[in-house]
Amino acid sequence: MTDLSKTFGKHSVDELEREQRIRRVFEAVAARYDLMNDLMSLGIHRLWKRTLVRLAAPRDRQFIVDLAGGTGDVAALMAAPGRRVTVCDPSLPMMDVGRARGHVGVEWLEGTGEAIPLASASVDTLTIAFGIRNVTRLDDALGEILRVLKPGGRFLCLEFSRPYAPVRPFYNLFSFTVIPRLGAWIAQAPEAYSYLVESIRRFPDQRAFQALIEQAGFEGVHYRNLSLGIACIHMGRRPPMRSTH
């Protein structure tokens, strides 16, 4: 029998299975993904995303990439004449939903976080909202983000995180009981939302993720908690080119 771990590389069989599972999840929920986000967060995710865009401070003549940008709601907030804004996402069904909405000034590019199909040092700002926890290899994705950013380019990541202790029990109860039932009722995909809740639970907390970003080579890494730590925006920069003289 063929040893698939040797054929595809160490740990890659599990990684391929996880990647395929994630793609099935987003294919299943694409049409109602934004509606489900509204229900799960009581609409607060839209305020979080606006905060992300405000901190990103998009400007003219910039090339901005929203990685794992799905239906393009964040990219649409950043789009304007005089700048290039691109959604890069592995899910064609999610991007098809976004295209159908006719977002003005948004380009669409198929690609994963581990293999971003862009030139090195080509991006001014890269954002990712609720997508980093779905990559198969987090270290590789952070390395790719660093690669495509220009020296001094900014990385901003909005993700669910570890809530403050007083609200944690209520948040966990809501996450593990209410959200999968909403998924079954609205999106008709309870398994998909059970996966999404589990991916939130497994994701590193604020300080652990900050350390991973720093280890990937970013500088000036810091974070800002939102809604008592339920969500968090991490920020960092690709270091400027060092003079050899």
Q: Give the model confidence (pLDDT) of 112-149 as tens digits.
A: 999 999 999 999 999 999 999 989 899 999 999 999 99
The rounded distance, in Å, linking the Cα atoms of 195 and 155 is 26
73-108 per-position pLDDT tens digit: 999 999 999 999 999 999 999 999 999 999 999 999
Rg (CA), the chain: 18
The model carries a pTM of 0.86
CA-to-CA dists, residue 122 to 97, 152, 156, angstroms: 27, 11, 16
Question: What CATH number did the domain enclosing 88 receive?
Answer: 3.40.50.150
**Which residues have C-beta within 8 Å of that of residue 57, sequence separation ≥ 6?**
none
Q: Cβ–Cβ contacts within 10 Å for residue 207, how many?
A: 11
Instruction: Kindly state the helix (H) or strand (E) to which residue 110 belongs, with its residue range.
Output: strand 106-110
Question: Within a domain: residue 106?
Answer: yes
Question: Within a domain: residue 3?
Answer: no
Q: What is the pLDDT of residue 72?
A: 96
Could you give the 3-state DSSP secondary structure of residue 242?
coil
CA-to-CA dists, residue 95 to 71, 105, 187, angstroms: 5, 14, 17
Kindly tell me the sign of the dihedral angle through the C-alpha atoms of 181, 190, 142, 99: negative
Question: Within a domain: residue 184?
Answer: no
Q: Given a cut of 50, is residue 6 above it in pLDDT?
A: no
Question: Within a domain: residue 22?
Answer: yes
Instruction: Kindly state the helix (H) or strand (E) to which residue 98 belongs, with its residue range.
Output: helix 92-100
CA-to-CA dists, residue 152 to 147, 170, 219, 238, angstroms: 12, 40, 9, 5
Domain count across the chain: 1
The tokens of 144 are what?
Answer: 């790719």
Question: Within a domain: residue 185?
Answer: no
Q: Crossing angle of helices 138-148/206-215, nearest 10°?
A: 50
Phi, psi of 124 (to 5 degrees): -80, -45
Domain span at residue 26?
10-163+205-237
Q: What is the pLDDT of residue 10?
A: 43
Q: What is the pLDDT of residue 9?
A: 40
Question: Within a domain: residue 177?
Answer: no
Question: Within a domain: residue 170?
Answer: no
146-186 per-position pLDDT tens digit: 999 999 999 999 999 999 999 999 988 887 787 777 766 76
The rounded distance, in Å, linking the Cα atoms of 125 and 156 is 8
Question: Within a domain: residue 224?
Answer: yes
